[in-house]
Amino acid sequence: MAPFSGDPKRASMSGSRNAAIPWHHTISELVAFPLASEAALHQRITSLDPRLKEEETWRLWRAAERELIAASPSFSIDELVGLRDALWFNDTNRKREPPGTGVQLVYYLRKISKLFLRHTGALASPDFTLRELHERGQSRSAHDRSMWRWLSFALPSDLLQASLEQDDVGPERIQALSPLLEQQLKDGGFAEPHLHLSAALDFPLLWVSTLNALADRSPHTLIKDFTSPGAALDEGAMFCVWLMRSAIARYLLGAFLDHGGENNLASFLQNDVEARILEAGRGLVMLMGLKEAIAGLVEATPLEAGGPDIHRAISNLQAVYIDLTSIRTHPRPKSLESLWNTDPLAAFLPGRTGQRSPEVWLIARALAYLETEAGRHDRLFSLIFWQTTRVRCLFYRHIVQRPMTPGLQWFIRFFARMSPMRSPIKKGVLIESALKSSGHGAGLRSLELRISPEGKHIFELIKTASRLLRDKSPNNKDTQGGKLELGFVIHFQRDRGGDGLKGRPAAFAQDCDANPVNGKTGYRHAQFYRKRREETLELRNLLTEHALTLEWLRGLDLCSDEVGVPVWVMAPLLRHARDAGAVASRILQRMLNLNVPGCRIAVHAGEDFVHLLTGLRRLDDAIDGLRLQPGDRLGHALSLGLDVETWARHAGNIVMPAEDRLLDLAWEWNWRSRNGGQLTRNRHLLIEREIADLSRHIFGEEHTPLDFVHLAEDLLNEDSLKRAGFPNGPVPEKDPKPQGKRLNLLVQFLTREDIYSRGRHLRWVEPAQDVEALEELQQAMRQKVAARELVVEVNPSSNLLIGHLADIGKHPLWRLRPPKGADGVPAVTLIIGSDDPITFATELRQEYQLVYDTLILSGCSTELADSWIDSVRRASLTSRFTVPWSGRGIDELSSSDWSNEQRRNLVDPP
């Protein structure tokens, strides 16, 4: 195969890439468009005209059709128009509308809330009442929850919750759990094995935190915080302007509604707000700022992103916002409950009870006002309320990952967006939020939180967590399960470097750390490795100097950019950190007679790949390179369970880097040499020919398949890396002796920029030719995982979005652990986690529900579904990393002589 040189005719193009577009996603996007699109924001929509004679509605539909046709190429225009008519203009919405007018958005929102939810007592539950779209023969409640799950990616749920409220009576929360599953989890107990502490928020909490962050950060910092490739509003650069306008207007709406909603908003602003400002001596500057905020929303005033006016506008709006709301006088919240009190609207809800947030109060009161005679004629109130609602919805879609784009690079963009906005929240509040979202009090027995590896940060987190558990000790028993266990898993995040996360990756990955010329020492990944090495040594010192931290530091997690940073880069560091945990374990056993196992390992592997063979190879590299032990975990491991034939058919022809293709084929050649197999003879010849071709192209000379097997082994061997000079150099001289050939190849691979560059050249590959071989290799890998007693972490919503699965029914987990019996290969142990609650708009029990409903919708009986869920629930407890806390402080064994002696036995990584 020749490298791709820009001419697709040089490769076979018989295959084509297929995309599955879920109906539920298209329905959700259509529903959200009048409330959560840039087009609706700029058109300032307050009603929908069924005749499309009003320019605003006509332009809105043109934008909707353009976006949805592009995103859903398999849908016809007639199909979209039919859906639009049913969702936007159904005549039942217009009973309260004057003849000849459009559908006011207040009735539209009321309608869609009742279309998707049923309000009963204190709860609302999913109930999709557009009956003609129901799939026949399926459980109605499971189907309703599935529809609701897709809608939750498009709109914040509290918007629909608040619109169900009538006469100050509404649901306190939306219950998306079936009563039977909820009771099963509560009675049996369960563990949360995978939750990132930094993402342990729901959107209403992050929204309040964002309102505080708007007052705390400089205009320049705010612009930087919101700028993100692919984001709405000029790549996010204009987000802070719109949020500032909206935050000010939101407070004024709240004040007007709290005032009783008399007269109209314009009169209130002129006769009450302006008069009070002038009486208080705040002057014309603040009045001008208020008018600028209102005018900016109502007129959708454009500003040049990055121009000088935007900094001035943000600075002026921020000063008005701070002065108007006194937001900087609020103390930083120490609990979840006190976080609500930092919302500027909290001043209007002095006796807030239950789970009715200030935002829900505002939406409910605003909708009620818009339905009054005065509200119907209050044009200014209607414009401002719907514009502020849209800004919040756009921010929701800025934070929650948008569906239908696969790969970790898309996810990383969304995950990074929330970081600046949670800065006002203390770590203790995040832990409390994690407990709540994971089901504390509803069956949660064990909670593992992923955290970054900075030593001081870890030390403070442990102290915070121990105080939290001690404070909650009277209520720390969860039904029949004993004390709640809480632990941290150190999250080693892989990052390829360069400007890829900014949406401007250099050609041929020239700016990545993998390129030898970008490292000061001339080695691939050296810069990234050295940074992570410092973090690892800091973690090593923490574990061995304060051995009791091992009760809290329960695992090591290698995550994130699987494509950009291979396992070999981090393997020496994770093995070293694990050795430090073993030392701490021996210290605790000898000094305190405490039996605390050392750190376990979890690794994201086989999750992000172009070719399935690459995913299987990386999975094997992780197992062997990190020396995984029974009870260790594989994160996601999608390559292990994908249906090979289906994957190949949907993938069509693919392009991939020549280097990946070479390493893939060498790995397969090695496996067939050791294990044989039905395809060995013919496959061996094909592999050897292609390896020879790839070797000549990348290295300029021909090497044998065994040479590349040795290369892969040496990359995972610390002694070999040291002999090659990695990471600090010097680069060894080329050894002319035959026995030096192996080291020479390793050094060339690590240091030569021309080899790196040619390895980036593309190869066309037809997966359809590899189906039988891939099935054989996949089965062998599943047997290896089962034999090693490894556990696979499944995060359904994460996999749905990152893996672009279209629906959970296509998830590889069903082949790893078939509900209706094994297929001849040992079943793999599975556990369920939530991963990132805010990014995926979820929480742990919702993930169980998503899987349970998929079982029901696939035709399983409730008994079979219950049994399958129960096996996964039990596995989450038996495979948990956490241990019961002894109640001791982490400083009790600091700097002991025995500890220092043992530390000297640890050999530093290269």
d(CA 213, CA 207): 10
Asked if residue 672 is part of any domain, the answer here is no
Q: Are residues 777 and 862 in the same domain?
A: yes
Beta carbons of 556 and 492 less than 8 angstroms apart: yes
Asked if residue 298 is part of any domain, the answer here is yes
Mean pLDDT of 713-725: 96
Q: Which residues lie across from 560 on neighbouring strands?
A: 494
Measure CA 587 to chain center.
37
Question: In this structure, what token pair is assigned to residue 29?
Answer: 């996007």
Rg (CA), the chain: 29
**Tokens 């459980």 correspond to what residue?**
139
2-6, 111-115, 118-122, 166-170, range with the lowest pLDDT: 2-6
Asked if residue 655 is part of any domain, the answer here is no
Look at residue 303 in the predicted model and tell me its pLDDT: 67
Give residue 12's pLDDT band: very low, low, confident or very high (50, 70, 90). very low
Give residue 898's pLDDT band: very low, low, confident or very high (50, 70, 90). low
* Cβ neighbour number for residue 656 with a 10 Å cutoff: 18
More confident residue, 871 or 677: 871
More confident residue, 572 or 483: 572
Question: 791 φ, ψ to 5°?
Answer: -115, 135
d(CA 506, CA 632): 37
Least Cα distance to 384 among 253, 286, 232 occurs for 253
Beta carbons of 714 and 720 less than 8 angstroms apart: yes
d(CA 464, CA 455): 14
Question: 384 φ, ψ to 5°?
Answer: -70, -45
d(CA 26, CA 84): 10
The secondary structure of 79-92, three-state, reads: HHHHHHHHHHCCHH
pLDDT tens digits, residue range 745-764? 999 999 999 999 999 999 99
Which residue range forms the structural domain that includes residue 313? 202-409
Q: Are residues 256 and 321 in the same domain?
A: yes
DSSP string, 109-127: HHHHHHHHEEEETTEEEE-
Cβ burial, residue 864 (10 Å; 0-12/13-18/19+): middle
Q: Where are the alpha helices (DSSP H) in 522-657?
A: 526-545, 567-592, 612-625, 644-651
Asked if residue 144 is part of any domain, the answer here is yes
Give residue 634's pLDDT band: very low, low, confident or very high (50, 70, 90). very high
Q: Are residues 554 and 464 in the same domain?
A: yes
Look at residue 371 in the predicted model and tell me its pLDDT: 95
Q: Are residues 207 and 308 in the same domain?
A: yes
d(CA 488, CA 448): 5
Residue 311: CA atoms inside 13 Å, Cβ hemisphere, count?
A: 7
Mean pLDDT of 57-77: 89
Beta carbons of 510 and 550 less than 8 angstroms apart: no
Question: In this structure, what token pair is assigned to residue 790?
Answer: 């490894």
Beta carbons of 321 and 327 less than 8 angstroms apart: yes
> Pick from 150, 185, 220: which residue ends a domain?
185
Mean pLDDT of 222-243: 92
**Tokens 């994160």 correspond to what residue?**
635
Cβ burial, residue 753 (10 Å; 0-12/13-18/19+): middle
Beta carbons of 594 and 588 less than 8 angstroms apart: yes
More confident residue, 758 or 471: 758
Output DSSP code: residue 907: P
pLDDT at residue 14 is higher than 60: no
pLDDT at residue 523 is higher than 80: yes
Question: In this structure, what token pair is assigned to residue 407?
Answer: 């790969």
First to last CA, the chain: 38
Q: How far is CA 34 from CA 60, 168, 244, in A?
A: 8, 26, 21
H or E element in which residue 447 lies: strand 444-451
Q: Are residues 313 and 436 in the same domain?
A: no
Look at residue 8 in the predicted model and tell me its pLDDT: 34
Alpha-carbon torsion, ordered 236, 238, 243, 248, to 10 deg: 170
pLDDT at residue 282 is higher than 90: no
Percentage of the chain exceeding pLDDT 70: 89
Look at residue 291 in the predicted model and tell me its pLDDT: 85
Q: What totals of helices (H) and strands (E) does the chain contain, helices first?
A: 39, 15
Q: Are residues 338 and 446 in the same domain?
A: no
Q: Are residues 502 and 584 in the same domain?
A: yes
Percentage of the chain exceeding pLDDT 90: 62
d(CA 373, CA 351): 29
Question: In this structure, what token pair is assigned to residue 318?
Answer: 């921020």
Least Cα distance to 254 among 200, 325, 185 occurs for 325
d(CA 422, CA 212): 9
* Cβ neighbour number for residue 377 with a 10 Å cutoff: 10
Mean pLDDT of 785-812: 87
Amino acid at 606: G
Beta carbons of 715 and 684 less than 8 angstroms apart: no
Asked if residue 910 is part of any domain, the answer here is no
Alpha-carbon torsion, ordered 282, 288, 290, 293, to 10 deg: -150
Q: Going by C-beta distance under 8 Å and a sequence separation of 6 or more, which residues neighbour residue 527?
A: 497, 513, 518, 519, 520
Give residue 678's pLDDT band: very low, low, confident or very high (50, 70, 90). low
Give residue 92's pLDDT band: very low, low, confident or very high (50, 70, 90). very low
The CA-based diameter of the chain, rounded to the nearest angstrom, is: 94
Q: Going by C-beta distance under 8 Å and a sequence separation of 6 or more, which residues neighbour residue 427?
A: 197, 460, 461, 464
H or E element in which residue 360 lies: helix 358-370
Look at residue 101 in the predicted model and tell me its pLDDT: 65
Give the total number of structural domains in the chain. 3
Q: Are residues 386 and 313 in the same domain?
A: yes
Least Cα distance to 469 among 446, 493, 491 occurs for 446
Q: Are residues 256 and 110 in the same domain?
A: no
Measure CA 603 to chain center.
16
19-28, 382-391, 431-440, range with the lowest pLDDT: 19-28
Mean pLDDT of 59-81: 89
Look at residue 903 in the predicted model and tell me its pLDDT: 58
Question: In this structure, what token pair is assigned to residue 47?
Answer: 């009603």
Question: In this structure, what token pair is assigned to residue 166?
Answer: 């009538």
Least Cα distance to 701 among 671, 745, 653 occurs for 745
Q: Are residues 150 and 216 in the same domain?
A: no
Q: How far is CA 619 from CA 499, 638, 783, in A?
A: 27, 10, 13
H or E element in which residue 190 lies: strand 190-196
Look at residue 470 in the predicted model and tell me its pLDDT: 82
Give residue 120's pLDDT band: very low, low, confident or very high (50, 70, 90). confident
Output DSSP code: residue 442: T
d(CA 331, CA 347): 14
Beta carbons of 88 and 56 less than 8 angstroms apart: no
pLDDT at residue 571 is higher than 60: yes
Cβ burial, residue 454 (10 Å; 0-12/13-18/19+): middle
Asked if residue 62 is part of any domain, the answer here is yes
> What is the length of the chain?
910
Amino acid at 474: P
d(CA 704, CA 668): 14
Question: In this structure, what token pair is assigned to residue 279?
Answer: 């009486």
d(CA 367, CA 386): 10
Q: At what angle do helices 612-625 and 658-675 cross, to 10 degrees?
A: 70
111-120, 181-190, 323-332, 411-420, range with the lowest pLDDT: 323-332
Q: Where are the alpha helices (DSSP H) in 176-264?
A: 179-188, 203-216, 219-226, 232-235, 239-258
H or E element in which residue 865 lies: helix 862-878
pLDDT at residue 526 is higher than 90: yes
> Pick from 139, 156, 185: which residue ends a domain?
185
Q: Are residues 856 and 826 in the same domain?
A: yes
* Cβ neighbour number for residue 505 with a 10 Å cutoff: 17
Mean pLDDT of 356-363: 91
**Tokens 């339905």 correspond to what residue?**
371
Q: Are residues 351 and 258 in the same domain?
A: yes
Q: At what angle do helices 105-116 and 77-88 cross, to 10 degrees?
A: 100
d(CA 501, CA 515): 17
pLDDT tens digits, residue range 594-624? 999 999 999 999 988 999 999 999 999 999 9
Beta carbons of 831 and 794 less than 8 angstroms apart: yes
pLDDT at residue 304 is higher than 70: no
Asked if residue 741 is part of any domain, the answer here is no
Look at residue 11 in the predicted model and tell me its pLDDT: 36
Measure CA 492 to chain center.
16
Asked if residue 736 is part of any domain, the answer here is no
168-172, 230-234, 505-509, range with the lowest pLDDT: 505-509
pLDDT tens digits, residue range 862-887? 999 999 999 999 999 999 999 999 99
Q: Going by C-beta distance under 8 Å and a sequence separation of 6 or more, which residues neighbour residue 562?
A: 408, 494, 604, 605, 607, 608, 609, 618
704-708, 736-740, 833-837, 850-854, range with the lowest pLDDT: 736-740
d(CA 614, CA 791): 21
> Pick from 127, 154, 185: which residue ends a domain?
185
pLDDT at residue 138 is higher than 70: no
